[in-house]
Amino acid sequence: MSKIESVLFDNFIIGDNSPTLIMGVLNLSPESFYKSSVYETFESIREAALKMISSGALILDVGARSTAPKSPAISVDEERSRLEPVLEKLCEIIPDNLLLSVDTQYGEVAQAAYRIASRCNKRMILNDVSGLTTDPDLIDFITKNDIPLILMASKDKPGDLLTIDEIISQLRSRIQLLKDKGYDLNKIIVDPGIGHWVKDKTYQYDLQIIANLEKLRTLQKPILIALSRKSFIGEVLEIPDPENRLMGSLCATAVSVYNGAHIVRTHDVNKKLKEIVKMAEAIRRSK
């Protein structure tokens, strides 16, 4: 199988011959399952962002809407009111080589974020956990503006696919749809959708996805893994509180990188994580 390589922007390449990237999570949603990941003042956001950048994050993923099961719904207006002031401030402190990822399922939010990023000359990508099913108009928006996309495997609701074969099939169909719309397929990153998104998805499915992650290579797109402190770790280790799932997260991250992840989305950007990713990557390259 040929090498995977995608050029998201000039001088920003993701793939087999590039280092595994670390994406730091900046969570603006008080409804989140992991309360310590929530930043409610700009000073705390600024401090977290600068720490993540200094610890090796080249992508910051900013989201204002929780997608955890049973989280209360918020309006698009509320999502924008949380997100936009933070993006304005982040633009003042993040370096030009860093990517700003906006975690939203809604075109109105994505467009507002893009206007801010463009105004301050920052490079933005879209992270849509619904796989472009919540708001199909997003396809025309990202195509027109040439915005890179993190495409998560979802069918009727975010993360509702169970097996790796279902995940690959759905991602392939969404990629074909994007191709038919004229989107640059070189801008796509795929995400298998780790997590207890729906009732039927038991922790064993997440273990199987990680164990079979290499199968996603058939799509010939960079692979993002987002497993930080999620429920499958708590189930295996019998740790109900996400606050205490760091070691499980690090272990699962190492296995995921070894099995082919090109981007690691995490709440825990630090020296330990960076060394684990680098070591797992070195072993993978020695296969």
**What is residue 73's predicted lDDT score, i.e. its pLDDT?**
85
SS3 122: coil
Where do the domains of the chain lie, and which CATH numbers do they carry?
5-285 (3.20.20.20)
Strand partners, 126: 102, 149
Question: Cα–Cα distance between 179 and 168 in angstroms, integer?
Answer: 16
Question: Beta strands of the chain (E only): which ranges?
Answer: 5-9, 12-15, 21-27, 59-63, 99-103, 123-128, 149-152, 188-191, 224-226, 263-266
- In the block, which residue shows the tokens 């619904």? 130
SS3 231: helix
Structure tokens that stand for 286 in this block: 């020695």
**What is residue 272's predicted lDDT score, i.e. its pLDDT?**
94
Which amino acid, 270?
N
pLDDT at residue 77 tops 80: yes
Q: pLDDT tens across 234-263, in order? A: 999 999 999 999 999 999 999 999 999 999
Q: pLDDT tens across 174-204, in order? A: 999 999 999 999 999 999 999 988 888 899 9
Mean pLDDT over each residue of the chain, to the nearest integer: 93
**What is residue 185's predicted lDDT score, i.e. its pLDDT?**
97
**What is residue 29's predicted lDDT score, i.e. its pLDDT?**
78
| Average pLDDT rounded to a whole number, residues 67-95 | 89
